[in-house]
Every structure is written in structure tokens, then in C-alpha cells.
Amino acid sequence: METFKLCGGSIELLSRALDVRSSNHNVIVSNIANADTPNYKAFHVEVEKEMEKFADDPGRLQMRRTQPAHMPVAAVSEVRGTARASDTPQFSLRGDGNTVDIDRSMADLAENNLLYNAAAQIIQQKFQALKSAILGGNGGK
């Protein structure tokens, strides 16, 4: 499939970020739903690992720090992400074998939601700019 290279490939990059964040959301919600299921093992999507795969491809958009005061660079995923069982917690007060930490899961859900919304807003702004360019910058008037 031909990749969408408009806007320097950033739309494709953001689209893939939305995909991996959506998959991560589904896994986190599943963990929360099974918080009381005996012997349920929590899962997580290895978002950072998938992001690194995308960043290592030299044909892809690369970000870099141009000023020391800039925030560290983070890449975005090419695929939906790989879900794997979370590591068993070292200490657990639960006797039923369930490894879901509801507080951690809720925090992960909130973080994932913020990152998803940020990517969605950025892609929306890119399409608004494209629309503005097509219409001549003044809404076609």
C-alpha cells in the first residue's frame, strides 16, 4: 500500500500512533474489567518497544532535539502493538492469583487517553491546515 507522504509523512505517523493507543486502551480496559477475576493475569501493550521499531526505519520521519532545552524525542508506533502478560508483581496482598493493579491500570488508562487525544488533535490541525491551503487561506471567499 502506498504510504501517505503529504505533510512529510507525519499524518501516517500520527495515524499509527492512534492505532497503537487504541490497542493499548482495549488491553487496559480488559485488565480493569477482569480486576476481580481469580487467576487473571494482567496484560499490557509494549508501546515504547513498538515505537522504537518505527523510529529505527531510516525511511521514516525522524525527530531530533535541536536545542538542549527541548523535551526528549519520543517516536510513534508502526503497528498496533504487541500485548503480553505483565510481569508478576513482587509483592501482592491478593490471594486469588490476579495480577491486576487497579490503581496502576487507571493511571495507565488516563495517560493513554491523554496521548491519544494529543495525537488526534495534531492530526486534526494538519487537516485543517491542508483544507486552508486548498481553499486559499480565507475559506474560499
Which pLDDT score, from 0 to 100, does residue 77 have? 36
Evaluate whether residue 93 is within a structural domain: no
Q: Could you report the per-residue pLDDT of 51-107, keeping only the tens digit for each?
A: 667 655 555 555 666 777 766 655 433 334 555 666 555 556 677 888 999 999 999
Evaluate whether residue 141 is within a structural domain: no
Model confidence at 7: pLDDT above 80: no
Q: Which domain holds residue 121?
A: 8-88+98-134
Evaluate whether residue 130 is within a structural domain: yes
In angstroms, rounded to a whole number, what is the distance separating the alpha carbons of residues 6 and 128? 13
Provide the number of structural domains found in the chain: 1
Q: Could you report the per-residue pLDDT of 14-60, keeping only the tens digit for each?
A: 888 888 889 999 999 999 999 999 989 999 888 777 766 765 555 55
- In sequence order, what are the residues at sequence separation of 6 or more whose Cβ sits closer than 8 angstroms to the Cβ of residue 16? 54, 76, 77, 78, 79
Evaluate whether residue 1 is within a structural domain: no
Which pLDDT score, from 0 to 100, does residue 16 have? 83
Evaluate whether residue 121 is within a structural domain: yes
Evaluate whether residue 2 is within a structural domain: no
Task: Please report, for residues 3, 78, 87, 113, the alpha-carbon distance to residue 55 in angstroms, rounded to integers and kept in the order given.
Answer: 16, 9, 26, 22
Question: Under DSSP, is residue 43 helix (H, G, I), strand (E, B) or coil?
Answer: strand
**What band does 133 get if pLDDT is binned at 50, 70 and 90?**
confident
Evaluate whether residue 140 is within a structural domain: no
The pTM score is 0.68
Ordered alpha helix ranges (H), the chain: 10-33, 47-55, 102-134
Which pLDDT score, from 0 to 100, does residue 75 have? 41
